[in-house]
Amino acid sequence: MRNFEKPTRSVAVSRHAMAATSHPSATLTALQIMAAGGNAMDAAIAACAVQCVVEPGSTGIGGDCFALYAPKGSDQVLAYNGSGRTPAALTANWFEERGLTDVPRQSPSAVTIPGAIDAWTRLHADHGQLPFADVLAPAIRFAEEGYAITPRVHRDWSLEEKMLAADATAARIFLPNGRAPKIGEVHRQPELAETLKRIATDGRSAFYEGPVAEDMVSYLRALGGLHTMEDFADAHGEYVTPVTTEFRGYTIHECPPNGQGIIALLILNILSRFDPKGDPQSPDRLHIEIEATRLAYAARDAWIADPDKANVPVDELLSDAFADRLASMIDLSRALTNLPAFEMPLHRDTVYISVVDRDRNAVSFINSIFDSFGTGLVAPRSGVILHNRGQSFSLEPGHPNRVGPSKRPLHTIIPGMMTKNGRVEMPFGVMGGYYQALGHAHLISKVVDYGMDLQEAIDLPRFIPTSDGTRVEAEHTLAGSTRAELERRGFVLAPAEDPIGGAQAIRIDWENGTLIGASEPRKDGVALGL
């Protein structure tokens, strides 16, 4: 039971439909779409489109998208991979010839062909109800007429002023008066409004062919990019089979690689080897979660890649033997100093949206431009912010995730879905770049293992292991005594540079016929229902 004397919020509770997003305008839009006769898919796309306008640092139509969909409350979960590929002409040699050892952020080489609009239009055509123009109308209105800046949006925006100033279009659109808009100021994006109008009328072709595509391609090529109109015309996502694991009687569904959802399942598999007892924030429990994450992330960094271009050992990663092996390495007396080297083979900013409608269609929807404002590059006539997802590639020779032509990178963004006894239980997601796999496992464990309500679980202090030995970034709300004990065991705790991640979730109470939702306190958003 929530302590009502603490400055937190209650879960949202409703009967008919619910949406949870990281921005109030997006949540309200989703409810309005469902009240007007739209279903959960219509609502999720409409909310995402709004966030592409009102949260421009977090997401955009120049990014990628993944979705899980449980129709009519069933456990027959559909998955869609809307991640983009590199230009057909881009090879690892291109980087070697320029003496590059990694993919620069603010460069065209970081821009894969955006997959979001392809995903939206395909998912809407297959599962939506309202006309697509009606779904995009709220976003168009915000872009054209303006939207008020909220606190977290302002904070993230202001941190990117220097980068935005380096691109003429970005500076013109996103730094009016030479700075980020302040809280309560009204901001407009007229170029993006016109682009959204084209997409509302002509669908997918309006983005991947014609003037909008020409704008993006000509701009990228002027900066030295290898993108072509053919690359854009050929872009397509695909329906994929979810990967799953069983956790304490529930089935957890994730999109398969090239996303890192399988690593969330691996962390849960490791956690299932330990008895969940005592305080969910005790040093012992956090020690287990930290080490499970470090081990799983080591496997991720070695193996996760585009399965069309590399061998990704999915069965091995989800096997009992592999979870047993990793769990056996965890020693509660001290931190692991040497992680295993996984050889092949063994055989940042994002929005997440959760929606459930009257018919119990459930959507878990995530859209991203990776870092805040992506590359910081904005196509001048269309107003499209171009993402920097290509930075997730490796340039290491022989690595499965090495950059190559028409290849998708390792993806951090992952929607989640939980089912049980033939019915959907909960669409959920946790934003936050490389935190996301840990965030999924952390949320599910706190809800299932410890019986916490969704808002309590989302409110808890967060941590994320880094690639720097035993260093762990932790939010300042982590108890001092817990911090001290973890450091005694050999972990090096450092303050998190930013609030870690963001989550939304909606749980279906089948017995009472109600919905229970929660939204991230580290963001501006809210969960609301009808």
Taking residues 284-300, report their average pLDDT: 96
Query: How many C-beta atoms surround the C-beta of residue 383 within 10 A?
Result: 28
Model confidence at 7, pLDDT cuts 50, 70, 90, reads confident
| Secondary structure class of 348 (helix, strand, coil) | coil
What are 383-426's pLDDT values in tens digits? 999 999 999 999 999 999 999 999 999 999 999 999 999 999 99
Q: What pLDDT was estimated at residue 344?
A: 40
* Residue 92 CB contacts under 8 Å (≥ 6 apart), including other chains: 395, 397, 402, 403, 404
pTM (2 d.p.): 0.96
What are 331-370's pLDDT values in tens digits? 999 999 988 876 543 335 689 999 999 999 999 999 999 9
pLDDT of residue 1 exceeding 90, the answer is no
Q: What is the DSSP letter of 402?
A: B
Alpha carbon 116 to its chain's center:
12
Q: What is the mean pLDDT of the chain?
A: 96
Q: What pLDDT was estimated at residue 347?
A: 35
Taking residues 196-206, report their average pLDDT: 98
Separation CA 155–CA 177 (nearest Å) = 17
Contact 500, 464 (CB under 8 A): yes
Q: What pLDDT was estimated at residue 2?
A: 75
pLDDT of residue 133 exceeding 80, the answer is yes
- Interior angle at CA 437, CA 435 and CA 439, nearest 5: 65
What are 10-58's pLDDT values in tens digits? 999 999 999 999 999 999 999 999 999 999 999 999 999 999 999 999 9
* Residue 152 CB contacts under 8 Å (≥ 6 apart), including other chains: 22, 522, 523, 524
Q: What is the DSSP letter of 10?
A: P
Model confidence at 528, pLDDT cuts 50, 70, 90, reads very high
Cα dist from 349 to 57, 70, 156, 243, 451, whole Å: 7, 25, 10, 24, 29
pLDDT of residue 275 exceeding 80, the answer is yes
Separation CA 527–CA 11 (nearest Å) = 8
Taking residues 463-482, report their average pLDDT: 93
pLDDT of residue 300 exceeding 80, the answer is yes
* Residue 8 CB contacts under 8 Å (≥ 6 apart), including other chains: 2, 455, 456, 459, 521
Phi, psi of 105 (to 5 degrees): -70, -55
Separation CA 111–CA 375 (nearest Å) = 8
User: Is 514 an active-site residue?
Assistant: no
Q: From the candidates 21, 112, 350, 375, which is the catalytic residue?
A: 350
Model confidence at 4, pLDDT cuts 50, 70, 90, reads confident
Cα atoms in the Cβ-side hemisphere of radius 13 Å centred on 407: 25
What's the length of the chain?
Answer: 530
Alpha carbon 15 to its chain's center:
28
Query: Residue 134 belongs to what H/E stretch?
Result: helix 132-145
Map out the domains of the chain as residue ranges: 12-239+350-392
Alpha carbon 49 to its chain's center:
15
Q: What pLDDT was estimated at residue 445?
A: 98
Q: Left (φ > 0), alpha (ψ -120 to 50) or beta: where does 137 sit? A: alpha
Q: What pLDDT was estimated at residue 348?
A: 56
Q: Which residues of 220-252 are buried (b: 16+ CB within 10 A; e: fewer)?
A: beebebbbbeebbeebebeebebbbbebeebbb
Model confidence at 432, pLDDT cuts 50, 70, 90, reads confident
Q: What pLDDT was estimated at residue 469?
A: 87
